[in-house]
Structure formats: structure tokens, C-alpha cells
Amino acid sequence: MGDGPRYSFLTTWLLRSPREPVWDAIYDEAGWPEWWRGVEVAEELRPGDEHGVGTKSRMVWRSFLPYRVEFEVTATKIERFSLMEGQAVGDLEGVGRWRLYEQDGVTAVLYEWDVATTKPWMNRLAPLLRPVFEWNHDWVMRRGGEGIAARLGCELLALD
């Protein structure tokens, strides 16, 4: 992981939807800019195996704040309909992990994002700006929860 300050985030979306369409929307990273405000670029650089492991993607995010973060993610573990995990390198370095659970027609999406910053200005200003970076992450994830619900035409029951 990068040598900058570390951040650990946990986001939960509760959607009134079966798990499969939720999985399909998250698994299709190239489609994220269509429904996830803040995702400027999501492009596949290299395909993985038949399950998607080894797929390498380039992501560029821009949030409410006037800066972008760019990184590449390589899928390291995929269990269809339940788990996606990837290793990020670039402006943010670390591990992202999606877990999906379904019960009674409601899908819980848990996203863990354990990263370190690598940009010198972010590292220097981290003591001052950590709350801002955390707020920024939450803003982006809220847009994702709202966006996926709109994309799937389902109710977003909770967002945390």
C-alpha cells in the first residue's frame, strides 16, 4: 500500500431489488459513468479470465471538491453475485471490496475501501484535510447509491 495516510471506509446501500441486477450494475464498471455521478472515466485496460479475475481498469473520479483522483484497479477475487475485490494503484493505493447479500427481496451492498493517498499535496495536507477527504468519499458513495437505485428503478431503503 502507498506510504501516505491511510483511510478505511465502509459504505452500505440497501436496495429493494434482487441481488443479480445490483451485481450486474456494479460488475459492469465501464457503465458507471452513465449512472454514478463523480465517475468521469471507467475503462477496461485488460480483460481478465472467464470470471473477471485479473481484469484491469482505469478509474478517474471527480467529486464535489475541485480535484480528481486517478487509479487503476486489478480484480483479485470474484465470487459471482456475492464478492468483488480489487487492488488499486495510482493516486490511491489499497484494496476495494464489494459484498452483496440478499434477503426477502432486499439487497445489502457493503463496500470497503482501505487505501492510502500517494499525491504529495494530499499527504502533506492530510492532518488538516482528513475530514474533508472523508466527507468527499461519503458524497461520492451517496451519489452511487442514488444512481444505482435510479438505474435499476428500485427504492433505496438506506444509505450509510
The answer to whether position 91 is within a domain reads: yes
Instruction: Please give the tally of structural domains in the chain.
Output: 1
What digits encode the pLDDT tens for the residues 112-121?
999 999 989 8
Asked whether 72 and 58 are in contact (CB, 8 A), the reply is: yes
In a domain, 64, yes or no: yes
pLDDT of residue 118: 93
Mean pLDDT, the chain, whole residue set: 94
CA separation for the pair 117, 7 (Å, rounded): 8
What is the dihedral sign for C-alpha 118, 123, 127, 132?
Answer: negative
Q: How many CB atoms lie within 10 A of CB 22?
A: 24
Confidence of residue 63 (pLDDT cuts 50, 70, 90): confident
Note every long-range contact of 126-134, with CB atoms under 8 Å and residues 24 or more positions apart, other chains counting: 126/4, 126/5, 130/5, 130/7, 132/65, 133/7, 134/7, 134/9
Residue 125 placed within a domain: yes
Contacts of 126 (CB under 8 A, 6+ apart): 4, 5, 117, 133
Whether residue 63 lies inside any domain: the answer is yes
Residue carrying the nine cell digits 452511487: 144
Average pLDDT for residues 47-60, to the nearest whole number?
A: 96
Residue 81 has φ and ψ, to the nearest 5°, of 70, 0
Indicate which CATH number applies to the domain containing 113. Answer: 3.30.530.20
- CA atoms of 127 and 147, how far apart (whole Å): 31
pLDDT of residue 1: 57
Q: For residue 114, what are the domain limits?
A: 6-159
pLDDT category at 130 given cuts 50, 70, 90 is confident
Of 113, 114, 141, the residue nearest 6 (C-alpha): 114
Assigned C-alpha cell, 31: 457503465
Domain assignment of residue 1, yes or no = no
**pTM as predicted:** 0.93
